[in-house]
Chain A
Amino acid sequence: MFAIIKRELLSYFSSAVGYVVLFIFFLFSGFYFYATCLMANSADMSYVFSNLFTVLIFLVPIVTMRLMSEEKKQKTDQLLFTSPVSLTSIVLGKYLSAMLVVSICCSVVLVYITIVSFFTVPNFGNLLGNIFGVFLFTGAFIAVGLFLSSITENQIIAAISTFTVGVFVLLLDTIAKSIPLASLSKALLAFSFMQRYSDFTSGILSLENVLFFVSFIFVFLFLTVRLLAKRK
């Protein structure tokens, strides 16, 4: 598994993908930090974190699109699947490498926190909740992206389908609220990423929300392993 993580990280940063993702993330998160904290003279970084939700919906598909699809297209999956490595290790290795790339992106938040701490004492409990929320949301979204990447050989299709899922997740609250049938609306809202993520950005650390994201990650990683096993 560690060999696969290492190889994936090398692949991200030996091509432009890793650097483009970092650049876009730093640019937009920097802009939100400047606009909502520095310009507004505010130490409340919740706005920065809530806006990261949108940025990640654009970036995660770029990170996950090639994870499995490229292996299949280049036939390098033959090396992985004929080596003494389990499918679970392969999927986990790919997943963790994508998580590491996004974590490197998110580490810039520590710089923002340091800047804020020059002016005032930040609410560290709130910040920790926010960071935790970002990781759980990103983890769930990457698991979906990895699953979609294992369905197709085409990176573009993998990216577009992951992005579509992201937009759907973003609009789910609005869609649910516009449905007149209360039970269906409630059922849809139960799957709302936005609502649960907002809870984290408001500093609410709910076990239910944590379990929701963790289960989501588990289900999609499991589906990816099963899909690869079935394809053999």
Chain B
Amino acid sequence: MIEVKKISKTYGSKKAVTEVSFSVKQGEILGFLGVNGAGKSTTLNMITGYVCPSSGDVVVDGDSVIEDPLKAKKKIGYLPELPSLYLDMTVLSYLKFCCDIKKVKLKNKLDYINDVCKKLDILDVQKRIIKNLSKGYKQRVGLAAALLGEPRVIVLDEPSVGLDPRQVVEMRALIKELGKKHTVILSSHILSEVQEICSRILIINNGVIVADESTENVVQKLSSKGQISLKVEGPNEKVSNLLESVEGICEVTTKGNAGENIFEYNLSFGNLPELQVRKNIFFALSKNRFPLLEICASDSSLESLFLMLTSNAPKGRAQR
């Protein structure tokens, strides 16, 4: 359905995205993960034709965004991080305008707009000025605009940012529903959101794809290894070596410096129960007189996922 072929984007001397390639099949919901500034939005902007790639191409259902942009854009609905809304218009006039520029050729546009509004539960705010709507409603209006013209691919850039918890749940349910009919690319930096909605996860870091896995695989990887975070005072190398020798520890990663001679570590452990591993760590450190300042179980955060996936990724892909 959509094929991204080695797209790169350079701003001056800075490479924002480097040779990103992937494809998304029809009916697939792809989660596009990355921390802020990783290159998610730039990649999505190139896919939707808002930004021209410095090199590479994007093909949507056989039409190239570079060579035949008008045809390709007709097949994409885009909800940017900040929805592109004309705040001085009413919801209805805005959606009519979107129908016009998307060249929706229907006899009864009003009925069609009403159907889309009904789906997104914005029928009751149709006559209100967009400026006066809440963030949640604005997001829904933006999504309604993206859905107009029945695009085959829907690109959503952080659709739940700024929404309250109830709206987040509603938005996620809505995206799941959309995934039944459309190919969806969902960008987010919230792992749980992507885990819940997407069938496949793609992780971008520093403009490079570092992981491309099915959600099942990612969840399996996360659950197969326990994670513990530590903050220890002492020389990094000595403490790392010591931790690696502790019974039950599979992998030690230094997260960073947290003060003078204080370092943070991420540990993954295998078969032993967590309590036993914690005890082993405590006794090993105290025996060697390295003060243990903090110990906690790591959540399955994006950061730990990054560390785990990038440590397994081939060097050419993970490192620039």
B70 partner, pick from A2, A3, A15, A86, beta carbons under 8 A: A86
Q: Which of the residues A75, A78, A80 comes within 8 Å of B101, measured between beta carbons?
A: A80
Q: Are B98 and A79 in contact (CB under 8 A)?
A: yes
User: 1/0 contact trace for A1-23 toward B, CB 8 Å?
Assistant: 01110110011001100000000
The answer for the CA separation of A6 and B71 in the assembled complex, in Å, is 24
User: Which chain A residues border B52 with CB–CB below 8 Å?
Assistant: 229, 232
8 Å CB contact of A84 from B73, B86, B88: B73
Chain A residues, CB < 8 A from B242:
none
The reply on B248 being an interface residue by CB < 8 A is: no
Q: How far is the CB of A111 from chain B (nearest CB, A)?
A: 30
What's the least CB distance linking A127 to chain B, in Å? 37
Q: When the two chains form their complex, are residues A75 and B93 in contact, meaning their CB atoms are under 8 A apart? A: no
Q: Smallest CB–CB gap between A14 and chain B, Å?
A: 5
Assuming the contacts A84-B70, A84-B102, asked whether A78 and B86 have C-beta atoms less than 8 A apart, the reply is no
Q: Are A3 and B48 in touch, CB under 8 angstroms?
A: no
Which residues of the other chain, A, contact B101 by a CB distance below 8 angstroms?
3-4, 79-80, 83-85
**Does A82 count as interface, using CB distance less than 8 angstroms?**
yes
Q: Residue A183 at the B interface, CB < 8 A?
A: no
Say whether B115 faces chain A, with CB atoms less than 8 Å apart: no
Interface 1/0s, chain A 189-218, versus B by CB < 8 A?
A: 000000000000000000000000000000
Q: Does B152 touch A at the CB level, under 8 Å?
A: no
**Is B85 part of the binding interface, using a Cβ–Cβ cutoff of 8 Å?**
yes
Q: How far is the CA of A232 from the CA of B9 in the complex (A)?
A: 11
Whether B71 and A79, one on each chain, are in contact in the complex, defined by CB atoms closer than 8 angstroms, is: no
Interface check B117, CB cutoff 8 A: no
* Docked CA distance A75–B142 (Å): 12
In the complex where A2-B100, A75-B80 touch, is A84 in contact with B85 (Cβ < 8 A)? no
Counting chain B CB atoms within 10 Å of each CB, the highest count among A75, A79, A229 belongs to A79
The answer to whether A81 touches B102, judged by C-beta atoms less than 8 angstroms apart, is no
Q: Which of B69-128 contact A (CB under 8 A)?
A: 69-71, 73-74, 76, 78, 80, 82, 84-89, 93, 97-98, 100-103
| A→B interface (CB under 8 Å) | 2-4, 6-7, 10-11, 14-15, 74-86, 229, 232
Beyond A6-B100, A83-B98, list 9 extra A-B contacts (CB 8 Å). A2-B100, A14-B88, A74-B87, A79-B101, A82-B78, A83-B73, A83-B102, A84-B74, A232-B52
